[in-house]
């Protein structure tokens, strides 16, 4: 089977279920809705920053990771993965096609969410003077969300392939991303130093961080104190995601479907 045919098959399998549509809708409503409420409550004397409009991006990312994990675990649950591997013995090709389709969808969802959050915030903010996309950092804060979502989807597909059970994969992804890294930061002395190098802290630094490490104008949420500059932080996060996916390829090839 050609690469184009594999991509088409994975696209059909993904969109033949309702979960991607529900996950995308939930991520959009939840993330942009909360961002809009934050912008509405910001007083005129504290203008909303572009980075502030993306402060809730992690909510949508969590939902997108669930969607990506489901793309794998659902096939294991209903046995369609076994049939797929029988039809296409090259398991690496199947998994790569799956991750490409899921990552592209996650990237598109991330861009829609980011620009919706920014646009809605600009409409309702008491003072939208700081919400123009006038610098490369402003564009990174908004357009960069799709890149992070795509990388997070690669990570989630890898975890889904390793765990194979929906509840387990979702628990690993959500507990670690939402709680695990924060708990590590509580370790006295060493914790904050380790936390800066953890993958989702790097994702935060790419989306919300500024080259100077400060929020322009002193308003809005504090910029993350990243161990790397924003763009290297994205590379770090993507490298971790790809590494987890590559490990999952090894495991998928070694055990029964």
Give the model's pLDDT for residue 117: 95
| Phi/psi of residue 255, nearest 5 degrees | -120, 165
Give the model's pLDDT for residue 5: 86
Query: In which band, very low, low, confident or very high, does the pLDDT at 224 lie, cut at 50, 70 and 90?
Result: low
pTM: 0.92
d(CA 235, CA 165): 29
If you average pLDDT over every residue of the chain, what do you get?
A: 89
Closest CA to 198 of 186, 213, 212: 186
Residue 216 has pLDDT above 50, yes or no: no
| Phi/psi of residue 176, nearest 5 degrees | -70, -50
Closest CA to 257 of 91, 96, 8: 91
Query: In which band, very low, low, confident or very high, does the pLDDT at 215 lie, cut at 50, 70 and 90?
Result: very low
Closest CA to 240 of 186, 181, 197, 176: 197
Closest CA to 65 of 194, 232, 241, 223: 241
163 against 87, higher pLDDT: 163
Contact 75, 57 (CB under 8 A): no
Transcribe 31-56 into DSSP letters: HHHHHHHHHHHS-TTSPPPTGGGGTT
């Amino acid at each position: 089977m050609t690469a184009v045919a594999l991509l088409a098959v994975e696209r059909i399998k993904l969109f033949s279920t309702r979960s991607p549509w529900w996950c995308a809708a939930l991520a959009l409503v939840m993330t942009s809705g909360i961002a809009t409420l934050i912008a509405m409550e910001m007083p005129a004397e504290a203008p909303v920053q572009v980075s502030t409009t993306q402060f809730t991006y992690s909510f949508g990312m969590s939902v997108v990771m669930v969607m990506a994990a489901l793309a794998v675990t659902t096939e294991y649950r209903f046995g369609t993965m076994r049939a797929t591997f029988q039809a296409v013995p090259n398991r690496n090709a199947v998994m790569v096609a799956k991750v490409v389709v899921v990552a592209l969808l996650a990237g598109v969802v991330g861009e829609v969410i980011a620009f919706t959050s920014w646009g809605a915030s600009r409409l309702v903010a008491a003072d939208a003077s700081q919400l123009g996309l006038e610098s490369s950092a402003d564009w990174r804060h908004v357009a960069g969300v799709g890149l992070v979502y795509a990388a997070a989807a690669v990570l989630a597909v890898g975890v889904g392939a390793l765990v194979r059970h929906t509840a387990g994969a979702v628990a690993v992804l959500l507990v670690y991303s939402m709680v695990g890294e924060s708990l590590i930061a509580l370790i006295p002395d060493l914790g904050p130093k380790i936390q800066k190098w953890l993958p989702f802290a790097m994702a935060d630094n790419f989306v919300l961080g500024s080259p100077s490490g400060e929020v322009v104008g002193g308003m809005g949420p504090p910029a993350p104190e990243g161990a790397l500059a924003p763009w290297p932080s994205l590379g770090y996060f993507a490298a971790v995601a790809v590494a987890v996916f590559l490990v999952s390829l090894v495991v998928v090839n070694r055990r029964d479907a």
